[in-house]
Amino acid sequence: MQQNTIYHICRAADWRTARKAGYYTAASQRIEDSFLHFSTRAQLAGTLELFFAGQKDLVLLAVPADRLGKNLKWEKIPDGRIFPHLYSRLDCDLVQEVVNLSLDAHGRHILPWSMTEKNS
């Protein structure tokens, strides 16, 4: 994976629907926020634990940040950390890898070795 890769977590069913349409938009983009939430590789484990703990049937979309153009903004959240937010739909052809996330015996998501923080 390239260092400029960022990641979006979504339900596998939503990704299948997006593939048929050619683009992906999350419910949060349409209702609560005006953007798609992304994480860097170093932020993935924390994002999964905080927002997706124990959830099954999730996929991780890997996207080169430099291909998202001016609609990608790096923004500070209230605790001071900076996260990538995409202010547009995500064209499916920009996704370089899709990884099915599984859970370990303790209900934590298993990230591929190449995406863990200590290997970044």
Adjacent-strand bridge partners of 61 = 8, 98
C-alpha triplet 92, 42, 11: angle, nearest 5°: 40
What is residue 113's DSSP assignment? G
Mind listing the pLDDT tens digit for each residue in 63-114?
999 999 999 999 999 999 999 999 999 999 999 999 999 999 988 999 886 5
Please tell me the pTM assigned to this model. 0.86
Domains of the chain by start residue, with CATH: 5-105 (3.20.170.20)
Mind listing the pLDDT tens digit for each residue in 103-115?
999 889 998 865 5
- The two three-digit tokens of residue 28, written as one number: 């949060």
